[in-house]
Amino acid sequence: MGVSPMGPTGIVRPLDRDPAVERRDRWLCPALGVAGLAAAIGFAAATGAAAAMAADTMLLVVLALAWLAGSAWWQPRRTELPWLVPILFAGLLILCALLAVRSPAFFAFGWVGYPYAFTLFSGYWVLIAVTATAVGQYAGLIAIGVPSDALVFILPIGIFVPVVVAGWIGVVEDRRRRRATAELAAANRQLEAALAENAGLHTLLLERARESGQVAERQRLARDIHDTLAQGLTGIVTQVRAAERAADDPDQWRFHLGRVESLARESLAEVRRSVQALRPGGLADSQLPAALAALAERWSEAHEVPATVQVTGVAGPLPTAIEVALFRAAQEGLTNVARHARASRAGLTLSYLDDVVLLDLRDDGVGFDPGASATGFGLAAMRQRLRAVAGTLEIESSDGQGTAISIQVPRTTAEE
């Protein structure tokens, strides 16, 4: 895979993201080197100098071929050991210089340093590699005794032009790299800002959902107090006054006192029902996993259908509203199984994940069409209660295939 625009150390050229381009560069440079060696040997054979080549010259040719073949293997892996690339490139220049000293015919092979310089190196290292290649070529010409007047013409073409081209490419590439790095940094900053904004909006939505649930619960409690408890207390006050007025009539006094006791018991029952609605009795003295286990046990005994409860993850404290919503959903789900599913077994799975709590209810009953039953009061009530805690409910069922209900609620550890 590719690396960053700067490369591992800023020395080697990053691997191209296009595999076709990388394969082309992998074989193009060795092919040019082999062509240069073949041309040099052919020129030596045509001029009759091939027979005069010593064994050490042929050994250098073999080493050059081995270097070219090896480059086809390590060139695609250059980013793994970037410090090794300049050493190997220096070895190529030494081979070129030694061959050029042995025979002027190998001067053409030295030009292979230029394509390798542009392929292997990055930024201003291209300029250094090209300059080293050009200086080596020029030194080889001097070593083989090229006349000085010829060197005057070769100097600008053989050294200045490649160096200027390499320098221009290095500057352009450095600017492109800096611009790409700046654009990447700006994009990262925008992404971080967007993520932070989304996280804030998500938190705000959760808070609004919880606040809406709290408002609805407060309104329900207010209605209960107004319709039951307040009326009961008013009746008690009325009966107490009536009992005071009937202090001289024992029968009427006992009658009004009995009414006071009856109204007080009724009011107490209403208070208990309101508290029960706020936190079900199964959750009064236990955490949600234990409450679900007790619920499944009671349901199994009542309906003679095995019901299992499985808990995964690390169970932890949840806000009361979330525990109540999940417990009520399990109650409603098991009630629906008992009424409609004709199942032989049922199962509850409570999963504590990092950010959410999942509750899955499944049975092996007759199943149903979720679309046709979407208007059922029980499911609608479950969805409404779950929406109050930013939860979702999904149903999967079909005729004869049983039913699976999946509930997901965002997990928080702070009590409301």
| 38-50 pLDDT per residue, tens | 887 777 777 665 5
Integer angstrom CA distances of residue 113 from 37, 121, 167, 227, 415: 13, 12, 16, 95, 71
Tens of pLDDT, residue by residue over 307-352, are 999 999 988 888 888 888 898 889 888 888 888 888 899 999 999 9
Which DSSP helix (H) or strand (E) runs through 300?
A: helix 288-303
* Alpha-carbon gap, residue 112 to 281, rounded angstroms: 86
- Token output for 75: 């060139």
3-class DSSP string for 124-156: HHHHHHHHHHHHHHHHHHHHCCCCHHHHHHHHH
pLDDT at residue 183 tops 70: yes
Which DSSP helix (H) or strand (E) runs through 358?
A: strand 356-363
pLDDT at residue 158 tops 60: no
* Alpha-carbon gap, residue 132 to 114, rounded angstroms: 10
Report which of 374, 377, 412 is spatially closest to residue 394, judged by C-alpha positions.
Answer: 374
Confidence class of residue 409 from pLDDT cuts 50, 70 and 90?
very high
- Token output for 304: 């003679």
Straight-line distance from the first to the last Cα atom of the chain, in angstroms, rounded to the nearest whole number:
49
Residue 178, SS3? Answer: helix
> What is the reported pLDDT for 5?
38
Residue 353 CB partners (closer than 8 Å, separation 6+): 313, 411
How much is the pTM? 0.39
Average pLDDT over residues 53-59: 76
> What is the reported pLDDT for 393?
92
Report which of 315, 322, 334, 319 is spatially closest to residue 387, judged by C-alpha positions.
Answer: 322
Average pLDDT over residues 278-289: 66
Helices in 225-282 by DSSP H: which ranges? 230-245, 250-278
> What is the reported pLDDT for 304?
80
Q: What percent of the chain has pLDDT over 90?
A: 11
Which DSSP helix (H) or strand (E) runs through 309?
A: strand 307-312
* Alpha-carbon gap, residue 311 to 398, rounded angstroms: 26
Do residues 350 and 310 lie in contact, with contact meaning Cβ atoms separated by under 8 Å? Answer: yes
Do residues 64 and 41 lie in contact, with contact meaning Cβ atoms separated by under 8 Å? Answer: no
Q: Which sign does the torsion angle of CA 15, 21, 26, 28 carry?
A: negative
Do residues 35 and 27 lie in contact, with contact meaning Cβ atoms separated by under 8 Å? Answer: no
Residue 269 carries which side chain, given as an amino acid letter?
A
Helices in 47-81 by DSSP H: which ranges? 55-74
> What is the reported pLDDT for 159?
57
